[in-house]
Amino acid sequence: VSSLAILGGQPAFPDGVPFVRPPAPPLARVTELLEPSWERGVLTNGPLVRELEERCAQLLGVEHVVAVASCTTGLMLAFRALPPRGPVILPSFTFSASAHAVAWNGVEPRFAECDARSFQLDVDDAAGRSAGAGALFATHVFGAPCAVERVVALGEQLAVPVVFDAAHAFGATRDGVPVSRFGAASVFSLTPTKPLVAGEGGLVATRDDAVAHAVRIGRDYANPGDYDTQFVGLNGRMSELHAAVALASLELFEPHQAARDAIAARYLELLRGTPGIRTQAVAAGDRSTWKDFTFGVDAEAFGVDRDTLRAALSAEGVDTRCYFDPPAHRQRAYAHLQATTLPVTERVATEVLSLPIYPALALTTVERIAEVLNLVQRRAEEVRARVAA
Ligand SMILES: Cc1ncc(COP(=O)(O)O)c(C=O)c1O
């Protein structure tokens, strides 16, 4: 790459590089898995759902996995199962659904700061906001484990349950331990952008029998079987069709994760020396799923700000995302809450950019994307002048 499209050159990717290409399993395999249930007329909540739950419980190292319609549903049910007796402390730097799952239970989300390097919940800041808290809730941001043992220790100190939003984290480990072994429950997402896909779907993983039981009946209106509902549940079931997709996706999980690992390693290598690029810090010994490859842009050191870099990449045909901008506490849905000042989160949200990462993405494309990005840095002055004009 010797010229930049934003400066009038030819785009590096005339056909475009999509931000995500869902790693859908072969349709023939899905059909093959689905056929026995289909022929028997079992279309939802059947043996394929059971098999998915058992296989995932083994992989995730937990006693129970309850498959649900989505991660949001699973989180809503996990909080309904506890339920917290006061505000839930969670990071604002997470996806809206984390906060929504709390608010849907009629519980107040209380937002805390993130760490500027790891983008994970700042546990010290959470501790400072924890007076009267009913639960702690942390996200494994972009598939990298958060500081789980510190969050769990704070939960113990406050005598409140800990829940993890593991939407991005199927396969993530902390010092070799699956992240789902920590806390009262961890909830995974199976939407098309995630490492394991069902189309739509979620998995509630827990080691706690009571939580598992409540989520299991909760996904079925809280009907234990006699129509005498035990609490206000919902229809959060997973269909057999989605379970078939997830089981087929599970067969490809390891090679797909290896591909993500290789892409992340290449990006890291090629961006290591780039001034002003701060890739997400992942603790040594941790395994991230690299659901997203995200970095912060320091406008002064890099030469242009995040939005200008994004525009330059877009001109080359590279699709990117600004996860999570705006952060939850700045969204209209939470404007009614007492004003929260989270300066680190607000700065991080304006700096972050996520690059394409998915199994079908060729390493040569990754290299070219990094090359373009480095050229934007070297020609930052011209890019700035062009944007200003
Ligand atoms: C951190 C986080 N939590 C929760 C969700 C919601 O997952 P679902 O779409 O399966 O409900 C997402 C979705 O991307 C997410 O990124």
Expressed in angstroms and rounded, the spacing between residue 99 Cα and the centre of ligand 1 is 11
Inform me whether the pLDDT recorded for 340 exceeds 90.
Answer: no
Q: How far is residue 260's CA from residue 251's CA, in Å, rounded to a whole number?
A: 16
Handedness of CA 126, 173, 144, 118 (dihedral sign): positive
**What's the Cα-to-Cα distance from 268 to each of 175, 185, 265, 290, 295, rounded to whole Å?**
21, 32, 5, 12, 10
Report, as an integer, the average pLDDT of 271-283. Answer: 97
* pLDDT for residue 317: 98
Q: How far is residue 243's CA from residue 331's CA, in Å, rounded to a whole number?
A: 33
* pLDDT for residue 339: 74
Inform me whether the pLDDT recorded for 360 exceeds 80.
Answer: yes
Terminal CA-CA length for the chain: 24
Lowest mean pLDDT among 133-147, 218-232, 303-317, 333-347: 333-347
Residue nearest to atom 1 of ligand 1 (CA): 95
Identify any residues that bridge with 137 across adjacent strands, giving them in sequence order: 163
Pocket (CB within 6 angstroms of ligand 1): 70-72, 94-95, 97-98, 139, 165, 167-168, 189, 191, 202
Inform me whether the pLDDT recorded for 1 exceeds 90.
Answer: no
* pLDDT for residue 71: 98
Report, as an integer, the average pLDDT of 374-382. Answer: 97
200 CA: nearest ligand 1 atom: 10
190 CA: nearest ligand 1 atom: 10
* pLDDT for residue 78: 98
Give per-residue pLDDT as tens, 53-103. Answer: 999 999 999 999 999 999 999 999 999 999 999 999 999 999 999 999 999
* pLDDT for residue 209: 98
Give per-residue pLDDT as tens, 155-207. Answer: 999 999 999 999 999 999 999 999 999 999 999 999 999 999 999 999 999 99
* pLDDT for residue 190: 98
**What's the Cα-to-Cα distance from 221 to each of 51, 78, 218, 232, 235, rounded to whole Å?**
22, 14, 5, 7, 6
Q: How many CA atoms lie within 13 A of 381 on its CB side?
A: 1
Q: pLDDT category, 338, cuts 50, 70, 90?
A: confident
Inform me whether the pLDDT recorded for 123 exceeds 80.
Answer: yes
pTM, entire model: 0.97
Residue nearest to atom 7 of ligand 1 (CA): 71
Q: pLDDT category, 332, cuts 50, 70, 90?
A: very high
* pLDDT for residue 2: 76
Average pLDDT score over the chain: 97
* pLDDT for residue 100: 98
Q: pLDDT category, 341, cuts 50, 70, 90?
A: confident
Q: pLDDT category, 326, cuts 50, 70, 90?
A: very high
Range 46-49 contact pairs with CB under 8 angstroms and sequence separation of 24 or more: 46/240, 46/243, 47/240, 48/240, 48/243, 48/244, 48/247, 49/237, 49/238, 49/239, 49/240, 49/243
The conformation of residue 106, written as its DSSP 8-state character, comes to: T
74 CA: nearest ligand 1 atom: 11
Q: How far is residue 113's CA from residue 118's CA, in Å, rounded to a whole number?
A: 12
